[in-house]
Amino acid sequence: MNRFQGLIAAAHTPMHPDGSIAPEVIPLQAELHREQENVGVFVCGSTGEGHSLSREERIAIADGWSRVAGEDLRLIVHVGCNALPDARALAMHAVEIGACAISCQAPCYEKPRNVDELVGYLSAVASAAPETPFYYYDIPSFTNVHLPIVEVMQKASDCMSNLHGVKFTVVDDSSQRECIEMQGGRFEVLHGCDDRLVDGIHLGCTAAVGSTYNYAAPVYRGLFDLMEIGDEIGARCSQAQAVEMIDILLKYGVLRAGKAIMAMQGVDCGPPRLPASELDAVESSDLKSKLAELDLFPRAFF
């Protein structure tokens, strides 16, 4: 598989007001991603509320994306679950729909105690889709699985023939560089921290997965362009703009705010699933007024 170059949006899962999934919104999401020149979508991950969805719902969302994705909007399906049989079933379904890759977090209830246990779980999931590129999704802030990623990748490479790389959502430049350089650059490292994209590019990442790429990709794409011509100072100015936006989102919760912004961009993805709550009218108005001053978005706010 050709390596990614550019921005991969961690797509929201669209929902109706009653909390049921709304796959009919996916074509509108895809239109916005193409408008922003995103190169792929990462579905049913953290931003996609994958762990709050049933297996059947995750299959329906992946199906919806498979119908609108293509070579210009490549599809990565997150298949991680606490229940290994569900993870394997989702991996096999991803193969059936032609996803270009699968990804998997560590289980977050019965947690692996060491690297060998984590690699055993990842290997069992990956073997359900042995011809499909597999990315380990390392996000200890959500899973609370804090194991040395370099050792995980080294051991996993011995038993997982389809291990293609890692979605690196950790603030650890040293380990990220080691993963990028490991085995002569064998593995692709997808940078996973929107607020530190310049650092990821500086280390050697050529692609990134992030939630704010759903609706603010232009500022990050410009950042990539500036880094490519060697203007790191300009790129860091763009990064500072993005961080200003992210700081605003954090006041409301990035998931809650992100779904509100999608509606402001004309793609209503509905509320997040409980226990997360939708922004109320006052919060939504306040968020809109704060963000309108930043001029980072591809469309005028609705």
Looking at residue 85, the DSSP 8-state letter turns out to be H
Contacts for 220 with CB less than 8 Å, ≥ 6 apart? 7, 194, 197, 208, 210, 212, 213, 238, 242
The Cα 175–Cα 184 span in angstroms is: 15
Q: What is the DSSP string of 195-217?
A: GGHHHHHHHT--EEEESGGGT-H
* Residues carrying an active site annotation: 137, 167
Cβ-contact 21, 57 below 8 angstroms:
yes
Contacts for 75 with CB less than 8 Å, ≥ 6 apart? 40, 41, 43, 62, 65, 66, 69, 97, 98, 99, 100, 101
Cβ count near 194 (within 10 Å): 25
Element at 112 (helix H, strand E): none
Please name which of 167, 172, 179, 159 lies closest in space to residue 211, comparing C-alpha atoms. Answer: 167
The Cα 240–Cα 234 span in angstroms is: 10
